Amino acid sequence: MAVAPHPHFSGWRVCAFAALTQAIAIGFTLGTVGVFAAPIASEFGSTATQFNFGVALFSLVMNASMPLAGRLLDRGAIRLVMAIGAGLLALGLLGLAQATALWQVGLLFGVVCAVGMAMLGPMASSTAMAMWFDRMRGRALGFANAGGPAGPVVIAPLAAFTIEAVGWRTTLLGFAAITLVVGLPAVWLGIVDRPADVGQQPDGGDASASQAAGEAGAEGIAAIGADPASVGAATPIAAAVEGAVATPWDASAILRSRDFWLLALAAAPFGAQGIVVGANSIPYLMHHGATAQAAALAPFAMSLGAIAGPLVLGSLADRIHPRLLFLGLCGALCLAFGGLMIGPGFVASLALLVVCGVVGGSMMPVYGALIGRLFGVAAFGQVMGLAALVGIPMLFLTPIGFGQAVDRTGGYAAGLMGLVGLIAVAMTLFALLPAGPARRATPVALPAIG
């Protein structure tokens, strides 16, 4: 039985609620983790390496959870996955507020909150946008994922203030309450898995007109006594559409695709640097003389850039090949790291962090647009999940290596130089991706055995 369509296109409403959930998912985890570094170090005596190990564990568990979450998302369980993620995130934050030992902090943040983030975070909202939008997918991804950096704009300075006023534990209790009272209802009431669930089509297309056209075509084929299936398969246009739109991608086919490996291996260092810089921006500024309250402006600066970046580059990803955009982002990031190595002062450092925010915030819409070009909507979540699995070693080891560089040298220059090297690797891999018109990636042909 056909579902009666809603009178107005629901995609942008879903996009707005997705942005709100990203503000909560990122704002209460990676977006503000640096604000808690100093008070936790004061209470438990943790080092830079231990702090970054917690960030690394978070990345490891989050990415290890993504393949399973991706499969569930591709099966149309977007709202359910996000709701479970919101519940787990609230549970982890509540547990953190009660932690009495450093290992408990690592376990609750690095495991429970990480799984919640994997289910509630950017992969889920990006999959929803891929379902709801086609021609405007890059723009929708940009708007939805702008919510992630928008969260720390408000949450990071507020967290610094409340930590000073009532302590870090009470602040985390507030995070947990907001996740349950705001985040969970936003998911359950605002997220719709697919346009067809409310009788709509991607981009707000006319479902009734499309259905009428399809029925008219079937009647015309039947009138000449032909089998609709055989006619569709025999025409060159139908074959082209089938290859461009309905090509099946299972895990085996994705893993045999050359473009998948180039994309996944290039995205891994790009993602790793974002986690490292986001987590260490406040300690970096405090190392260079800023107070805790002033240093809390670091997530604010990065978030401003991360909000602007997706809105601009998300739209560009609909017109310019995302591979070219990625190369430009990598170049800008290397320049920003070079400036931060010098230690240019508080204001200049904030400006460079804005650049880092633009680059980091732009990654998801550009990355999502590239996945859509290569693999289509049906495999979107699965491709993101498998790519996250490929990136686990890089995402786990990079924060630990960065923390060790800080502890051994007493500064941040060596760690930033290492990040420049990682981005150079990402640029090389992105350069190997095709720069021509949008096309579908093809699985690598394996030689026959026997």
pLDDT digits (tens, 9 = 90+) for 128-147: 888 888 888 777 877 887 78
Q: Is the pLDDT of residue 370 over 60?
A: yes
Phi and psi based region of residue 355 (left: phi greater than 0; alpha: psi -120 to 50; beta: remaining): alpha
Q: Torsions phi, psi of 81, nearest 5?
A: -60, -45
End-to-end CA distance of the chain: 50
Q: In CATH, what number is assigned to the domain containing residue 267? A: 1.20.1250.20
The pLDDT of residue 367 is above 70: yes
| pLDDT tens sequence across 175-187 | 999 999 999 999 9
Return the minimum-mean-pLDDT range out of 183-192, 271-280, 369-378, 410-419. 369-378
| Amino acid type, 248 | P
Q: Which of 6-10, 31-35, 93-97, 262-266 has the highest mean pLDDT?
A: 93-97
Write out the residue range of the structural domain in which residue 154 sits.
Answer: 11-197+249-431
Residue 225 lies in a domain: no
Identify the band that residue 450 occupies on the pLDDT scale cut at 50, 70 and 90: very low
Amino acid 275: pLDDT: 84
Domain for residue 231, yes or no?
no
Look at residue 424 and tell me whether its pLDDT is greater than 70.
yes
409 band by pLDDT with thresholds 50, 70 and 90:
very high
Centre a 10 Å sphere on the Cβ of residue 300 and count the other Cβ atoms it contains: 20
* Cα–Cα distance list, 313 to 154, 161, 366, 379, 430 (Å): 23, 33, 7, 23, 17
**pLDDT value at residue 69:** 83
Question: Is residue 6 domain-resident?
Answer: no
What mean pLDDT comes out for the span 47-60? 88
How many domains is the chain partitioned into structurally?
Answer: 1
Residue 340 has pLDDT above 90, yes or no: yes
Residue 127 domain-assigned?
yes
- The per-residue pLDDT of the chain, averaged, comes to 80
Task: Note whether residue 233 is domain-resident.
Answer: no
Q: What is the mean pLDDT of residues 439-446?
A: 48
Q: Rounded distance, CA 367 to CA 358, Å? A: 14
The pair of structure tokens assigned to 361 is: 């915030």
User: Is 243 part of a structural domain of the chain?
Assistant: no
Give the pLDDT confidence score for residue 233 in this predicted structure: 38
Report residue 227: phi and psi, to 5°. -80, 120
In a domain, 152, yes or no: yes
Identify whether 399 is part of a domain.
Answer: yes
Using the Cα atoms of residue 259, residue 25, residue 81 and residue 196 in order, give the sign of their dihedral: negative
Instruction: Report the pLDDT value the prediction gives residue 242, as an integer from 0 to 100.
Output: 36
The predicted-structure confidence for 348-362, as pLDDT tens digits, reads as follows 999 999 999 888 777
Nearest C-alpha neighbor of 353 from the set 272, 146, 289, 361 = 361
